[in-house]
Amino acid sequence: MGILAATWLLARWTTAFGWRVSFELIGGISLGIAALVCFVVRDRPEAKGWEPLTASSLVPQETQNPAAAISLRQGIGHVLRSPQFWLFSLWSFVNYGIFFGFGALWSGPYLMHVYGMSREQAGSVLSLIAWGMIFGSPALGFLSDRVFGSRKKPLIGCALAMTVELGFLRIFPSGLPTWALMLFFLLFSISSSSTVVIAFTAVKELFPIEIAGTALGSLNLFPFLGGAVAMPLLGRLLDRHASTSTAFGYPPEAYTALLSCLFFSSLLVLGCTMFVRETYKN
């Protein structure tokens, strides 16, 4: 829902009020949320007069091991020594580098520079990224649990779909109708972003439940690190391949080079999914 607001509502705000007022509004909303957390959220249920949480309420009876006690240091060491963790980390670094670098940053300029869309038109097309996450995440979870009985198969399928999509856009970087662009960004969102529900579940299932939070917290570094690296690198790539100077932004050939980079990166994502371990258990 936040991404939906960022692609559609924020575009309307900036058109109506400008960037400065829009960011002031966002800052005010954030302060309001912080105040709600401060006065409403509590560390433990007992502070609200509810029953306390117990180990039996958090962990299935058959997986409980009262004698097990893993320190944070031991848990981090266990996670970092796992080759599968680093495989998932590489997957998330590159996969979300693609998503954040293109879907969250350069897709808007791409639509405005290559297709001549206004900010609001581009925001409407890119709102399909949010809808893909809203509906794609539970759909992929259902497919993983109820249809395929697998974590690995949906990951491979999504990586393959993303590779085909970016390859198609690389071949046809311009001239597509609006409905085709909307369909592309919907499928792109599902295949690149919604997969987080399966990947994080798979990583949780790789390790003992006692260090599941440590494993997921460690993995969570890499998607954002991938985005932080991909965003400026893709910008530099656009600068290098901008053969002409134009007041309207980068020329189509610069985005063709960007899409080529994304396509080859998606092949690496696909390769990672081939070697991840199946963690699903009936």
**pLDDT tens digit string along 157-175?**
999 999 999 999 999 999 9
Architecture of domain 2-10+83-275: Up-down Bundle (1.20)
Residue pLDDT, tens place only, 10-64 = 878 888 888 899 899 999 999 999 999 999 999 888 888 888 876 555 555 444 4
Question: What pLDDT digit, counting tens, does each position of 88-125 carry?
Answer: 999 999 999 999 999 989 999 999 999 999 888 998 89
The answer to whether 262 and 136 are in contact (CB under 8 A) is: no
Task: Tokens 């520079």: give the residue.
Answer: 113
For residue 204, the tally of other CB atoms under 10 A from its CB is 16
Predicted pLDDT at 165 = 97
Q: What angle do CA 86, 204, 3 make, to 5 degrees?
A: 85
In whole angstroms, what is the distance from residue 240 CA to residue 173 CA?
18
Prediction pTM value: 0.81
* Residue 121 token pair: 């038109």
Would you state the pLDDT for residue 12?
80
- 123/75 Cα distance (integer angstroms): 43
pLDDT exceeds 80 at position 254: yes
Through-space distance between the first and last CA atoms of the chain, rounded to whole angstroms: 32
Largest CA distance in the chain: 67
Of the candidates 24, 1, 4, the one whose C-alpha atom is nearest the C-alpha of residue 14 is: 24
Instruction: Say how far apart CA 126 and CA 108 lie, in whole Å.
Output: 7
φ and ψ at residue 60, rounded to 5 degrees: -55, 145
Over pLDDT 70: what percentage of the chain?
92
Numbers of helices and strands, H then E, in the chain? 14, 0
pLDDT of residue 210: 87
CB 107 within 8 A of CB 182: no
| Residue spans per domain, the chain | 2-10+83-275
Report how far residue 249's alpha carbon sits from residue 239's, in angstroms, rounded to the nearest whole number.
Answer: 10
Whether the predicted pLDDT of 9 surpasses 50: yes
